[in-house]
Amino acid sequence: MAEVRAARNGDLLLAVDQEGGRVQRFIPTTVGGFQEALVIPTTVGGFQEALVIPTTVGGFQEALVIPTTVGGFESGYTRLPAAACYLDYCHGDLAQAKKLAQEAGWLMAAEVRAVGVDFSFAPVLDVDLGLSQVIGDRAFARDAEAVANLAGAFMEGMREAGMPAVGKHFPGHGGVTADSHLALPVDERAWDDLWEADLLPYRRLIPQGLDAVMPAHVVYSRLDEHPAGFSHFWLQEVLRRRLGFQGVIFSDDLSMEGAAGIGDFAARARLALAAGCDMVLVCNNPAAAASVLESLGDFDAPESAGRLAKLQAQGGLPWSRLRQETRWQQTAALLQNLMAGEAV
């Protein structure tokens, strides 16, 4: 934790995935005149996640994503239940489930903020339509209104801890069976179906100040031929203009098979940025991340830089003080008891 805080500065954004774990070692270094950051992986458990390290390239903050090995919760972080569990724990009582989701959102954000990380890629806004195994219980519910309510409560808890919220996977990954990590899914539904279901959480949460959005590597074939993360239609016409979103747009991981058909990594990055992404992610492939950075040496996007500058988290208690807080103690105990099978 001390290494993270020592390397942290006012121009560096740090992010982890909500399903991630621990940064093993974090050290600053200077490469080619630009301050960058390196994570030295250490094996703890069997899961690989990624730390997003923005670095300055041609006046624009670009994302260098370096893999870190995590897992097992050896770090002392509280294990959160799957998003779909909140309603189950509360026996379908939405009001009670919202309170629980808000407390879980606060706890997650407070713990991540305690080590100096700005944000997590949360909450998931996908609606579970009973098709996507990769979304599955990561979705809050099968009803779009319930997703909007529970994700909104989770987002409110994050904000209470000083953390921005990143909604994903726009416009929705719940209507396809294919996993975009492994293939390019194609959603053949009409606009009205997407508008009434998948887009409803965004329609609700953007007016509430949703800070950032991550689009899906999914093609919505009746509306546009490009995956949403590379689509001017989805990012500019729908997200920016129709929904009025003014926050940051992150690409999903450009290493995923859902992005592979676009071209090499440099092409993927340029097309994602051209479509409207403010920052691109390249996970678990340092060589590809380096090639993207090299290809963007002449890239300049002042509007994106301005949006990214507003995304830094505010406040947060150090880990030792956080664990002394009554709210942390009560929420951590409640979540652990629920996951052990005790009633609310």
What DSSP element (H or E) covers 99?
helix 94-113
C-alpha pair distances (Å), 245 with each of 76, 139, 152, 173, 299: 36, 22, 16, 19, 23
d(CA 178, CA 186): 8
Question: Which member of 128, 252, 253, 278 is catalytic?
Answer: 252
The number of residues in the chain equals: 344
Q: How far apart are CA 34 and CA 61, in angstroms?
A: 11
Angle between helices 144-160 and 94-113 (to 10 degrees): 40
Q: Does the active-site annotation cover 252?
A: yes
5 phi and psi, to 5 degrees?
-65, -40
d(Cα 332, Cα 324) in Å, to the nearest integer?
12
End-to-end CA distance of the chain: 33
- Can 126 be counted among the known catalytic residues? no
> Which residue of the set 181, 187, 211, 232 is catalytic?
181
β-strand pairing of 26-31 with 34-39: antiparallel
Would you please indicate which residues are annotated as catalytic (active-site) residues? 181, 252
